[in-house]
Structure 1
């Protein structure tokens, strides 16, 4: 399957190899990039141990104003629907920082707030 995603970097591979040695379940994308298996419990000790190997984040790409506005409306809508912890998007990139919120909160969002997600993300 073709992908526009670049192949994994040596840093990504080293970081995920470290996590794997620490007992973290790793899955691979269609284009071979290693990722943490989010269906498994979070292992804070492993992530802290491997943090020095974590590659620097990619430089964020600015979103157009319509995307920023849509992301802001989505965040406000989800909070109004009872997801009080849901963060505001980045005002430049429109991205949600998933470090704001625990892995348990993100899992619960997808499990317990399906109706809110459908209401607040009608185009998805």
Structure 2
């Protein structure tokens, strides 16, 4: 089971919620969608993405936020190493994603790890 940073999941949920709130969807009522369209229909996805493309950040504006995120995850990982978990995985240098094997993940379901996380997390 991978151990992943919470921030990307929160950002994805916020983006999804903002797209729903602004009406960016494949169109039509939910009843019509369920009757007339397969929700996994690729054409519907492409259409929805095209309608909302102007709401997505371009790569240049997203890069500083991603760099800052990766730096925070690196700092967190280093702190966890220093606080009793030297085997804690380092984040991917590009995405900031932290992957742990199932065997490693079991080590992180302990009270000691919770203490380390609280100590290493930003206030």
Which TM class, normalised by the smaller chain length?
A: 0.3 to 0.5
As a proportion of its length, which structure holds more helix? 2
State the TM-score, normalized to the length of structure 2: 0.44
Tell me which of the two structures has the higher relative contact order, counting C-alpha pairs closer than 8 angstroms and 6 or more residues apart: 2
As a proportion of its length, which structure holds more strand? 1
State the TM-score, normalized to the length of structure 1: 0.43
* Largest Rg, 1 or 2: 2
